[in-house]
Amino acid sequence: MRLPVFTHAACLAHDTGPTHAECAQRLSAVTSALRECYADLDWREAPKATRGQLLRVHEAALLHAVLETRHADAIWLDPDTVLSPASAEAGLRAAGAVVAAVELVMNGEAERAFCAVRPPGHHATRETAMGFCLFNNIAVGAAHALDKYGLSRIAIADFDVHHGNGTQAIFQDEARVVFASSHQMPLYPDSGYVHERGIGNIFNAPLPPRTDGTGFREAWRERLLPQIDAFRPQLVMISAGFDAHQRDPLAQLRLEADDFAWITAALIEIAARHADGRVVSSLEGGYDMEGLRESSIAHVAALRA
């Protein structure tokens, strides 16, 4: 079965300005690399998320700020996060991609799916767009799986170099979701400490600057993967950030593309044991174009294996 990849041209129209790290060229780098390497991918157009789907994890005030603010030019929601006239549709398509991917795997039409979308999502909290993120795409998809398909155990694995504070905050009191994250510390957003445990469903592995693939794999092998495996998830979801790559300008971890392939394969193994192979992955960070291309190729190679 060909790997479904959800994306949409609207995600390219989200205009963050000429010098912003989270730019349209990121998504172009990913999609062009995947098209060049893999002729057998099943490219699909991401639908828009509905208000109801967004309201499962976000407050109405956030939807109003992103979807109903009228502005002719770009405005800054915080020092990092931009809202341009085209951003609302991009945000809806990015979240909608994850919902559509969840439906695909839950309906048995595919085992795994990848969402090549922007803006990223894992920093967005229930009430706040932040850290380049408008809506929390992976959280919207997970909540959809809980509500529509009645799942009782979903694991979200986040290997972006920045901690997914929004995802953690949304699910820290939700016993049906385990959230496991590796991330550099210290680094934005200054969360993801080991003592942050939620109701026993949050597992963080902060990594010091200059940690390489050996340290990254050890953290997942010894600390995070066993927790996910013990949870016996019915669906595995991945916040696939590639800014822990050694080339990335926004952080100081030293991962290579093979490390992303390794963690992806490890999560697929857990999904095979407990979730009938169901895995949904969505693009998060990654700000060096070469590193982003290499990493997305490696990640998708594992997903399509």
277 CB-contact burial (10 Å; exposed 0-12 / middle 13-18 / buried 19+): middle
Q: Say if residue 120 is preceded by a cis peptide, omega within 30 of 0.
A: no
Domain ranges in the chain?
4-303
Q: What integer pLDDT is reported at residue 97 of this predicted model? A: 99
- At the fourth CATH level, the homologous superfamily of domain 4-303 is Histone deacetylase domain (3.40.800.20)
Q: What is the pTM of this model?
A: 0.98
**Torsion angles phi and psi, residue 111, rounded to 5:** -85, -40
Tokens 């991401």, located at residue: 46
Question: In terms of DSSP H, where are the helices of 114-248?
Answer: 137-149, 165-171, 213-219, 225-231
| Residue 91 near residue 135 (C-beta atoms within 8 A) | yes
Report CA Rg, the chain.
17
According to the model, what pLDDT value does residue 218 have?
Answer: 98
Of the candidates 14, 122, 123, 183, the residue annotated as catalytic is 123
- 245 among known catalytic residues: no
Burial class (CB within 10 angstroms; exposed 0-12, middle 13-18, buried 19+) of 215? middle
Q: What is the DSSP letter of 192?
A: -
pLDDT tens across the length of the chain (305 residues): 799 999 999 999 999 999 999 999 999 999 999 999 999 999 999 999 999 999 999 999 999 999 998 888 899 999 999 999 999 999 999 999 999 999 999 999 999 999 999 999 999 999 999 999 999 999 999 999 999 999 999 999 999 999 999 999 999 999 999 999 999 999 999 999 999 999 999 999 999 999 999 999 999 999 999 999 999 999 999 999 999 999 999 999 999 999 999 999 999 999 999 999 999 999 999 999 999 999 999 999 999 99
DSSP letter (8 states) at residue 187: -
